[in-house]
Structure 1
Amino acid sequence: MNLSYFIARRYFLSKKKKSFINVISIISMLVVAIGTMALVIVLSVFNGMEDLLRGLYSNVDSNLVVTPSSGKTFDYTPNLRDQISAIDEVTYITDVIEDNALIGYNNAKRVATVKGVAENFIDEGRLDNYLVFGELKLREDNVNYAIVGRGVQYDLSINPKNDFHTIQMYFPDEIKPGQLNPDKMYRLRNIMPGGVFAIEKSYDENLIYVPVSFAEELFNKKGQRSSLEVQLDTKADTRAVKEQLQQVLGADFRVLTNDEVHGGLYKVLSYEKFFVFLTFSVIIAIASINIFFSLNMLAIDKKKDVAILTAQGASSKLIRSIFLYEGCIVAFTGAFTGLFLGLAIVLLQQEFGLVTMGMQTAIMDAYPVKIEWADIFFTILCIIIVTLITAIQPAINAAKNVRLSELQ
């Protein structure tokens, strides 16, 4: 960009005539600003939701989960436990057996996932921050207790303070040939409600924690487990311990990290985020079409001015640069205005929680947001590409007019 460019551009801008072209340029600038602002805000909300879910799952779920490579259960032996305990970074091993069962309470019934856990599960403190009613206990005075998700509690109207009603759990039993009595086609066990937790919808509406010994009897899986949940020291390298544990246990078991257990959900969130980015990019591209038309109209409107500049020695390259830079100024002014406003709104939401969830039962009072600079980079890159695509053709057309005037 040289001195002649500034002189030529000043010549164009010195004309104070307000025209329809100026109105289109201003509208284009505003639409680009609004689109950019909305894109920054929506991507920040997706980042905040993903960050929130990762935080929830890392608090409630274990660092590593050991499951059988084939089948639903495996034999849980002292030797297997000793192999895992031998790793220095391991702090807790919680043996788990879970399956779906029919849950009944005071004439109401529904299906839920019953998760039998060892009593050290309570000692780990994973549910300490999510108890909303009752007590965190699985067994007391030889009495078994269930810790129920809030969604299950609402559906069945479970009252942990009512000692007269127990929770009934039904599970299909092995049916012998010639068995006709329906009462012997299922196993029924009763358990007292102990507490109610509220973590996240998929947990709250489907999950009930019970003692592992109770689950063994209900599912008729004595000595078998569905998985082992392994908690590590806070300073441990999860990936390194996973590889070490996989070598120790061999091919009969799979060792998964917390992110791998919930990998499907994180993939869905990333796909949704990508398509949102794509949608708003298209909106910004549509707004940039106005820039395309306004520059074309400007090229037509300024034919005489272009001819005067050409007569004064301006080259076609200079004229092309003027129109190209004009398009970039309109687009980038709108984009950076929208970027500034979007970042300001996100920072205000982080600090003051301006937009609330509007629900008393929500995990957080306000919508979570998080700024990731990679999103800002790709947003700016998208705007640059779209702007160049929409501005380059009018600039070329204006340069063609210069060559035509030179030929005449």
Structure 2
Amino acid sequence: MRLPFFFARRYLFSKKSLNAINIISTISVVGVLVSSAALVIVLSFYNGMEKLILSLYSSFAPELRIEPAKGKVFNASSKVFQDLRHNIDIRSYSEILEDKVLIEYNNQQFIAQIKGVEPKSLTEANHQNMLYAGNLGIYRDSVNFALVGAQVQANLRIPIQGYNNYIQLFSPRKGSSANSINPMDDINQRQISPCGILQYHQGFDNLIITPIEFAKDLLNEYEEVSAVEIYMKDSTQVPSLQEKTQKQLGADFIVKNREQQNPLLYKTIRSEKWIVFFILTVIGVIAIFNIIGSLTMLVIDKKQDMIILKSLGANNKLIQRIFFYEGIMIAFIGGIIGIAIGLAFCLLQEKFGIIRTGEGANSIMDIYPVDIRASDFFLVFITVMLVSSLVSYVASLLSVREIKEEGIRTND
């Protein structure tokens, strides 16, 4: 192994007789370098976007959510739920009541999803970052207020300040008959004033958050709830509490973590990352194929040297290893430098925000986020080396064949 490596190192770093070989070898290194740097940069930027999207989703989604396996509502007065409410490891416990309602303001109507929560849970779980404007005080001085989603506010143009900003909420009365002369007799109607607007987030834009007692009164559902939402003091305890609670509640309930609450979001983010990685890898493979050109030119330049080595007893396997190690060294140098450049660029972006979105001050992000992960560097390096090893092996086989044919012509 030392002899082929010695020749490969000498051929790569020593001056070659043909200037074209120097240029092609440099192009091969640069090709591997650029593809490696591009993979690192794109993956790190994508990680940053993934982290941002999931953090925005986490502002709305609880760490654990208990729902009935069948039906829409259930009674949460059993001992298991009471024990959870008084669990010292839980930071926030809230019963939830949800349903569709009709909202009307200034003769404009909109179908929204009402979500009744225990008012204290909004401050206990630190939901301040989910607000675009206003405050979280949905129950103050014995008066009910509401947080409205961005789409609700945009469609109805509801102001969050003023004395005449009450919105009307309508919901079918539970257990009502269709025989009433006045249809409004079968409809519950309540009014409430908004105190805040939620940040834009797909899936939550049609939401209106109110105190749960207000929601129970509107929906005429006083005994049962739609779900129980839980936030932990220590997030690392979520899996153990989920497993324990699921066993205690049995098959009648489903205890979901954040990923299970919105599996499509997580699957989409993960699949998109691998699709991007695959596309960039294919582009990188094209650049790595420059190694074949470099080794071919090297064979032409060193063909006489190989014939001399064969006459001294070197076999085809040894010659093949020389060019194989040459290709591996090109890939290794290009890969290491490329990963280093990619890392440096990501660090600069993280510190100085070189690439910006150009959005205003109220946008979700002004600088493209970056999340540097060691696993991505390892993945990029392994991918580059595996592809380069395959390309170098093919190129070395072609090189040996060329030398063998040249040797036959020489003997003739």
TM-score range, shorter chain: 0.7 to 0.9
Which secondary structure state, in structure 2, belongs to the residue aligned with residue 216 of structure 1? Answer: helix
Residue in structure 1 matched with residue 378 of structure 2 by the alignment: 377
Listed as ranges, the matches of 1:228-247 within 5 Å are: 228-234=228-234, 237-247=237-247
Give the 3 Å change call, closer, same or farther, for CA 342–17 of structure 1 in structure 2. Answer: same
Contact 1:75 1:224 (8 Å CA) reproduced: yes
Residue in structure 1 matched with residue 19 of structure 2 by the alignment: 18
Hey, what's the Cα distance between the residues in 2 that align with 1:66 and 1:163?
A: 38
Hey, what's the Cα distance between the residues in 1 that align with 2:275 and 2:76?
A: 45
Which secondary structure state, in structure 2, belongs to the residue aligned with residue 75 of structure 1? Answer: coil
Listed as ranges, the matches of 1:305-320 within 5 Å are: 305-320=305-320
Hey, what's the Cα distance between the residues in 1 that align with 2:341 and 2:243?
A: 46
1:254, CA displacement in angstroms? Answer: 1.6
Letter in 2 for 1:211: P
Give the 3 Å change call, closer, same or farther, for CA 24–14 of structure 1 in structure 2. Answer: closer
1:294, CA displacement in angstroms? Answer: 3.6
- Flag structure 2 segments of 5+ consecutive residues without an equivalent: none
Give the 3 Å change call, closer, same or farther, for CA 182–292 of structure 1 in structure 2. Answer: farther
Give the 3 Å change call, closer, same or farther, for CA 149–326 of structure 1 in structure 2. Answer: same
Residue in structure 1 matched with residue 290 of structure 2 by the alignment: 290
- Flag structure 1 segments of 5+ consecutive residues without an equivalent: none
Give the 3 Å change call, closer, same or farther, for CA 396–100 of structure 1 in structure 2. Answer: same
Letter in 2 for 1:106: N
After superposition, what is the alpha-carbon deviation per residue over 1:240-281, rounded to whole angstroms, capped at 9, x for unaligned? 222222233232212122333233322211111111111111
Residue in structure 1 matched with residue 171 of structure 2 by the alignment: 171
Letter in 1 for 2:358: G
Residue in structure 2 matched with residue 251 of structure 1 by the alignment: 251
Which secondary structure state, in structure 2, belongs to the residue aligned with residue 225 of structure 1? Answer: coil
Contact 1:90 1:230 (8 Å CA) reproduced: yes
After superposition, what is the alpha-carbon deviation per residue over 1:282-334, rounded to whole angstroms, capped at 9, x for unaligned? 11111122222342344345433432443455432332122112222332332
Residue in structure 2 matched with residue 190 of structure 1 by the alignment: 191
Letter in 1 for 2:150: R
Which secondary structure state, in structure 2, belongs to the residue aligned with residue 237 of structure 1? Answer: helix
1:267 aligns with 2:270: no
Contact 1:149 1:203 (8 Å CA) reproduced: no
Listed as ranges, the matches of 1:144-223 within 5 Å are: 144-173=144-173, 176-178=177-179, 183=184, 186-198=187-199, 201-202=201-202, 205-223=205-223
Hey, what's the Cα distance between the residues in 1 that align with 2:337 and 2:380?
A: 13
Give the 3 Å change call, closer, same or farther, for CA 386–125 of structure 1 in structure 2. Answer: closer
Listed as ranges, the matches of 1:88-127 within 5 Å are: 88-127=88-127
Q: How many residues align?
A: 406
Contact 2:40 2:376 (8 Å CA) reproduced: yes
Contact 2:150 2:206 (8 Å CA) reproduced: no
Hey, what's the Cα distance between the residues in 2 that align with 1:405 and 1:35?
A: 35
1:124, CA displacement in angstroms? Answer: 1.1
Hey, what's the Cα distance between the residues in 1 that align with 2:262 and 2:325?
A: 47
> CA RMSD for the aligned pairs?
2.9
Which secondary structure state, in structure 1, belongs to the residue aligned with residue 36 of structure 2? Answer: helix
Hey, what's the Cα distance between the residues in 2 that align with 1:192 and 1:98?
A: 19
Hey, what's the Cα distance between the residues in 2 that align with 1:18 and 1:173?
A: 87
1:131 aligns with 2:134: no
Which secondary structure state, in structure 2, belongs to the residue aligned with residue 169 of structure 1? Answer: strand
